[in-house]
Amino acid sequence: MDARRGRSIEVDFFRGIVLIVIVLDHIPGSALSHLMLHAYAFCDSAEVFVFLGGYASAAAYTAVLERHGTGAAQSRFIKRCWEIYRAYLLTAVLTLVSGALLARLHLNRPMVELTGWPPFASQPLREALDIVVLRRQPYLSSVLPMYVIFALCVPFAVPLARRSRAAALLLSVAIWAAARPLAVFFSIDDVSDWAFNPFAWQLMFVLGIVSRVQPVSEHFHASKTARRLVGAALLAVLGFAIVKLFVLTQPLPGTLKQNLSMDRVINFLAIAWLTARLVRMGSIARLAQRMPAVVRVGRTGLVCFVTGTLVSLIVDTATPHAFHGVAGALVALSGDLVAITAMLVIARGWNGWKGGDASRVAVNSAGCG
């Protein structure tokens, strides 16, 4: 991905894919979710989501910096922090309202529990305060508080990465290594309260920033070392897949994802390197050009993320779970297709409502994975 370009069609394409995958992954009865990254790797769409968020944030900050100066770039991300916080509150409200409606109609009890509606109904004032101060995040809104923190750090992280790739990465790795003690100190170590430890997940965000402002050189890409890394990455991806598919028989503890364990980082880096080689060959750009609807989803990131929470809740509730075998698989697949279509329609509708101004959509979507 050439850092000299404006928006990257590959990044928008990946963002679109990830936003759709997030919706599918949060439909418990989804058929296609069994084919997604988490099924054969230790990492999942969350790593891709946060990495691309860092990449897009660096692109947005750099663009404003070069056109309007440091003050404007810093102000842009302070404003972006407020936008993401409002999106978080909206997502939380939509999640709770959905849970209340499902409870009222006696539908989809497991989803009611996931939305966090029962504890909210029993102690609304306390739960509302906890949500406002980010102490608790209902269901799918849980990733956005992390982005509020990251948006505030962008004016520091991007200039540091521009000056020194090594300094940015070393500082990030040091914070990641101390993530668990830091989470305990700030009382955010409970998975039920903070599904993502921001001190750990900032590593993915910073990797995205560095990939944008200090990309791997063409000279290195053409070297024998790069080709050897392709072989090593293929072996790593295959090894992780074998372990995930045939060795592990029980779900891994949620704290491993919450604190971004080392095996998740290594698995992601191996996949990212292979993907970077495909991007360099132009394969991803050609694929993205054939799938403009998916690219449009990626360019409408925050809107599609918020509305995607409703899509997953509605599709899961509306999909019958009484069928089994082939019939059950077909019903689940039908629900997946409805969810994917809904995301494509939402992105198209939003772009149409905004007047089809791609540049404006680009600015609005940049900086939020």
Question: Is residue 3 over pLDDT 50?
Answer: no
Residue 52 lies in a domain: yes
Residue 27 lies in a domain: yes
Domain count, the chain: 1
Instruction: Provide the percentage of residues in the chain whose pLDDT is more than 90.
Output: 74
Residue 181 lies in a domain: yes
Written as one letter, the residue type at 360 is R
- Residue count of the chain, please give it: 369
Q: What is the mean pLDDT of residues 210-214?
A: 95
Q: Are 299 and 365 in contact (CB under 8 A)?
A: yes
Residue 51 lies in a domain: yes
Q: Are 208 and 53 in contact (CB under 8 A)?
A: yes
pLDDT of residue 335: 94
pLDDT tens digits for range 81-104: 999 999 999 999 999 999 999 999
Question: Is residue 121 over pLDDT 90?
Answer: yes
Query: Which residues constitute the domain of residue 78?
Result: 9-365
Q: What is the mean pLDDT of residues 158-162?
A: 96
pLDDT of residue 366: 42
Residue 2 lies in a domain: no
Residue 4 lies in a domain: no
Question: Is residue 24 over pLDDT 50?
Answer: yes
Residue 239 lies in a domain: yes
Residue 3 lies in a domain: no
Q: Give the Cβ contact number of residue 2 at 10 Å.
A: 11
Round the average pLDDT of the chain to a whole number and report it. Answer: 90
Q: What are phi and psi of 289, to 5 degrees?
A: -65, -25
pLDDT tens digits for range 162-203: 999 999 999 999 999 999 999 999 888 888 778 899 999 999
Cα(50)–Cα(201) distance, integer angstroms? 8
pLDDT tens digits for range 278-320: 999 999 999 999 999 999 999 988 899 999 989 999 999 888 8
pLDDT of residue 57: 93
